[in-house]
Structure 1
């Protein structure tokens, strides 16, 4: 029994002097080369969503004063016929999609809404959904206005 008690410290000493070192492998870079082109700023509306959108062709006509289905999407706001919505908090952002809370102001009132915006693959169609509005349960479809 006495022999075994001397062997344990000896094994520990040799283990500590081992030439093998435990080095963690280098971190794997999960971002591909093309990721920079698809990067989305965390505090802006994605570029693919920006522009002027209309629910009807008449909404794209600047000379009309009644373009009630017109929506202008800028980096930090949505501009409608009688209201403006400032970007407040982004929940989800991808190059073609955004879910965020917007602070609205218009006609003497202020309110907050969680909105989803998504551009279709063709880049010419956009769908807007008001996620927390009990009165507006469906989606609204817009077409990109040409210059």
Structure 2
């Protein structure tokens, strides 16, 4: 069952602008070996992210609980389809690992910084 998220009226993003925080930006992959292959890479940028076959344009972002966890709403595009996706993203204290949970499809994926 999909989790329903609602943004609280008046809630704001972490930086008062809709941008992915600097600590989350960069190139990520499932493991260090995958960093060498663009097919496995995720490129996280200020206003969205790109993978080999799908891209997401950031629509909304807000802090969730801890200072290292955010909820983000992306407009996704890939395979001739456009859809919205909610993600919970948690970065490690050292900034070298990222856990991403697709809230419409339960389960987490861990990434390492390339």
Tell me, yes or no, whether TM beats 0.5.
yes
Q: Higher relative contact order at CA 8 Å, sep ≥6: structure 1 or structure 2? A: 2
Secondary structure of the structure 1 residue equivalent to 2:93: coil
SS of the residue 1:96 aligns to: strand
Higher helix share: 1
Instruction: Provide TM-score, normalisation by structure 2.
Output: 0.77
Aligned position for 2:77: 105
Equivalent residue for 1:83, pick from 54, 58, 70: 54
Residue 125 of structure 1: aligned partner: 97
Residue 7 of structure 1 corresponds to which residue in structure 2? none
Structure 1's unaligned 5+ residue stretches are 1-39
Larger radius of gyration: 1
Structure 1 or 2: more strand by fraction: 2
- 3-state SS of paired residue (2:33): helix
Whether the 8 Å contact between 1:49 and 1:96 is mirrored in structure 2 is no
- 2:45 pairs with 1:45: no
Render the CA deviation track for 1:22-69: whole Å, top value 9, x for unaligned. xxxxxxxxxxxxxxxxxx4131111111110010223311xx4xx433
Between the aligned partners of 2:110 and 2:41, the Cα distance in structure 1 is 11
Q: How many residues align?
A: 99
Q: Give the superposed CA RMSD.
A: 1.8
Contact 1:88 1:103 (C-alpha < 8 Å) held by counterparts: yes
